[in-house]
Structure 1
Amino acid sequence: MALAYSDVTVVVDERDDLFYTRAALRAHCPEEGRITVQPTPASGSPAALAHAMLYALGKRLASGPSSPDVWLDSVNAAWLAAASWSVAAGVRHVVVTRAHLLTIRRIDQLLVWREMTGLQLTLLWQKAPRGLPPALAGVERRISSRDQLLELLAEPGPIPARPCFPPAPQAMTGSADVAVVPGQSPARPLRGTRPAAMMPGQRAHPCVGAMATAQLLQATPAVEIASEDAAALAALAHPLIAGALSVVAFTGGSLGSLRWTRDLDITGDVSAIKIHGAGHRHCRLYAVPAWARSLLAGARAHHRLAAHPPGDSVFAPVMLAEARHLRAHAERLPQLNLTALPGSILAP
């Protein structure tokens, strides 16, 4: 029997039939936008369910008392990270097994997270339904057969399985009468060429966003890194740390320059990112390699879910108060040479 309320479905498996658990585990397919979360109710951490969600999304938290992921022990930080990766990955349906073992507080956290992400949530309640908490007591739709359960697990959710990336803008054609290094913004605006959206007589400011810059310049190609290094970066649990270190890896630059990177410095399709130079001279546009697009999408989702405006720095939270965690993760990836963290990023 299954009960549903809005985009939340509770599958009541009073006899704890192994079929339901197996069906839920088989349904796990991140590539199709569906994940299965297996919580660890025995954990005393208030953020344990969010950690289980991150694990299902392919993220791995560093362990140990001095872990650089210790700040994800905060409930709000952990759920924001889980929501960011879910949005970036295009997850549309989450299945949680053995939900009857969760505390009321963790169920409330899960429902708040669902509201934040807007996706479909299915809970396996593997005991009598009389124990349903008030937050789940108002469900209405009932499913009485195994076939209907399988149909529920297969149906599409409310958002796409993959992030919707609009096409990258085509480079503007025109005769610029100054020499430009590929991917690098000039100290002065280009003459003789302008973004299509600009009025006649206007000039592009050298620190306009990445979309406008991409209409004027070709992006600098990304530095190639080994596939195992890309996988190590993709497994980092915090979206801002994963995004920041990936940018340093594929640009060959320093983390210090990321302090000025704004939401609008990442193109809509996450195909290019603009990195600012000192005094905003010689700012450079870089192509984002395929392996890093989901990581930058996660960082941007984190920025937006935290309700920051597009002109704010995306990576500022991890370059100030949490810089020690950023440094610790960089030191755990010595092959990428990411440890050159200028002292200036520690300053407010």
Structure 2
Amino acid sequence: MTLVYGDVTIVVDERDDLFYTQAALQAHRPEEGRITVQPTPASGSPAALAHDMLYALGKRLAPGPNSPDMWLDSVNAAWLAAAAWGVATGVRHVVVPRAHLLTIRRIDQLLAWRKSTGAQLTLLWQKPPRALPSALARVERRISGRDQFKALLAEPGPIPARPFFPPAAPMAGPAAVAAGQSPARQPQETRAASLRPGRPAHPCTGAMATARLVQAAPALVIASAEAAALAALAHPLIAGALSVLAFTRAGPGSLRFTRDLDITSDISAIKLHGVGHRYCPLHAIPAWARPLLAAARAHHRLAPHPPEDGMFAPVMVAEARHLRAHAGRLPRLDLSLPAGVLVP
């Protein structure tokens, strides 16, 4: 029997039929926007289910008692990271087997995650329905049978199966970049304002405005293995920050000033900033890094923060040690992150 209300579906499997579990596991296809989250049995960690969600999303937390992912032991931080990755990667349907073993608190966390991401949630309740908690008691319709469950797994979810990255528009026309000028050079009026003696620098325009005037500098190429290692990092801000350093080779201090509005809407270019905005180049974002920057932006907005705030501020100041630790675990990328540059 399957109970449905809103975008939450409860599949009641009183006899614990192996078919439903197998169908749920086979439905795990992240590339199609559908994942199956398997709760860790008998885990007492408050953030355990969020970690299970991150694992299903392809993220791997660094092991060990002094892990750079220690801050994801916090329930709020872990679920915020899971929501950001869910939004950025276009998750549309999440299936959770053996949901009857979850505590009421963890069921509430799942429902809150669903509300943040807009994804459809299916829970396999493998015991009699009279044990349903009050949070799952309101049911709008009922269907039953294996065929209906298979059809449910095949249905398109409420959001696209993949994140929507529209084709990047041309960065600048032929007349917009003077002959001999660096393609990533800052617009003339912004440079003049920032260098005017005796006056504070004016805030830079965002990446969209800059992209209409100058051409983005091409991204540096990194090996596919290193790109995959960055994509597997669990925290969106750390994954996004290290990816920017990898494809730009910019100084890590420039990330302290990067705002939400410094990434174009199609996530094809990012603008970095120097002290006093004396040099603020525009860089093209390679395809492998676009989901990472999309997740960093989603994390920033879900927090929530206004677009003018520094997007990477939480990892550049309060938790810079975690950023440095992850950089140290990726020696092939040779990301130099001196503490004095990251932490004022």
Normalising by structure 2, report the TM-score.
0.94
Alignment partner of 1:89 is 2:86: no
Alignment partner of 1:279 is 2:276: yes
Alignment partner of 1:210 is 2:207: yes
Read off the aligned partner of 1:338 and give its amino acid letter.
L
2:233 aligned counterpart, secondary structure: coil
Q: Deviations over 1:72-131 (max 9, x none)?
A: 000000000000000000000000010000011100111111111111000000111111
Following superposition of structure 1 onto structure 2, how do residues 51-62 of structure 1 map, counting pairs within 5 Å?
51-62=51-62
Read off the aligned partner of 1:241 and give its amino acid letter.
I
Whether the 8 Å CA contact 1:206–1:283 is kept in 2: the answer is no
CA distance in 1, matches of 2:183, 2:231: 28
1:324 aligns with 321
Q: Aligned match of 1:341 in 335, 338, 343? A: 338
1:244 aligned counterpart, secondary structure: helix
2:282 aligned counterpart, secondary structure: strand
What is the CA distance between 1:293 and its match in structure 2?
Answer: 0.4
What is the CA distance between 1:143 and its match in structure 2?
Answer: 1.9
CA distance in 2, matches of 1:344, 1:225: 24
CA distance in 1, matches of 2:184, 2:224: 25
Name the CA shift for 1:287/1:14 in 2 (closer, same or farther; >3 Å).
same
CA distance in 2, matches of 1:123, 1:139: 13
1:269 aligns with 266
CA distance in 2, matches of 1:111, 1:258: 34
CA distance in 2, matches of 1:142, 1:117: 25
Whether the 8 Å CA contact 2:219–2:247 is kept in 1: the answer is yes
CA distance in 2, matches of 1:226, 1:172: 29
Alignment partner of 1:137 is 2:137: yes
1:33 aligns with 33
1:197 aligns with none
1:253 aligns with 250
Whether the 8 Å CA contact 1:274–1:284 is kept in 2: the answer is yes
Q: Deviations over 1:242-291 (max 9, x none)?
A: 00000000001122110000000001111100011221112101010110
What is the CA distance between 1:172 and its match in structure 2?
Answer: 3.8
CA distance in 2, matches of 1:189, 1:124: 57
CA distance in 2, matches of 1:171, 1:98: 50
Read off the aligned partner of 2:241 and give its amino acid letter.
A
2:196 aligns with none
CA distance in 1, matches of 2:169, 2:328: 36
Task: Number of aligned residue pairs: give it.
Answer: 334
CA distance in 2, matches of 1:304, 1:168: 22
Following superposition of structure 1 onto structure 2, how do residues 1-348 of structure 1 map, counting pairs within 5 Å?
1-173=1-173, 174=175, 180-186=181-187, 188-189=189-190, 207-347=204-344
What is the CA distance between 1:345 and its match in structure 2?
Answer: 2.1
Read off the aligned partner of 2:97 and give its amino acid letter.
T
Q: Once structures 1 and 2 are overlaid, which stretch shifts more, 167-176 or 273-282?
A: 167-176
In structure 1, runs of 5+ residues without a counterpart are 192-204
1:4 aligned counterpart, secondary structure: strand
What is the CA distance between 1:344 and its match in structure 2?
Answer: 3.6
Read off the aligned partner of 1:326 and give its amino acid letter.
L
Read off the aligned partner of 2:322 and give its amino acid letter.
H
Read off the aligned partner of 1:47 and give its amino acid letter.
A
CA distance in 1, matches of 2:177, 2:161: 42
CA distance in 2, matches of 1:190, 1:77: 38
What is the CA distance between 1:176 and its match in structure 2?
Answer: 5.8
Name the CA shift for 1:345/1:4 in 2 (closer, same or farther; >3 Å).
same
1:142 aligned counterpart, secondary structure: strand
Read off the aligned partner of 1:103 and give its amino acid letter.
T
2:72 aligned counterpart, secondary structure: helix
Q: Deviations over 1:216-251 (max 9, x none)?
A: 111111111111000000000000000000000000
What is the CA distance between 1:178 and its match in structure 2?
Answer: 7.9
CA distance in 2, matches of 1:136, 1:229: 43
CA distance in 2, matches of 1:159, 1:61: 27
Read off the aligned partner of 2:101 and give its amino acid letter.
L
CA distance in 2, matches of 1:308, 1:66: 29
CA distance in 1, matches of 2:172, 2:22: 54
Read off the aligned partner of 2:208 and give its amino acid letter.
M
CA distance in 1, matches of 2:151, 2:338: 51
What root-mean-square deviation, in Å, do the aligned CA atoms of Structure 1 and Structure 2 show? 1.7
Name the CA shift for 1:102/1:41 in 2 (closer, same or farther; >3 Å).
farther
Read off the aligned partner of 1:169 and give its amino acid letter.
A
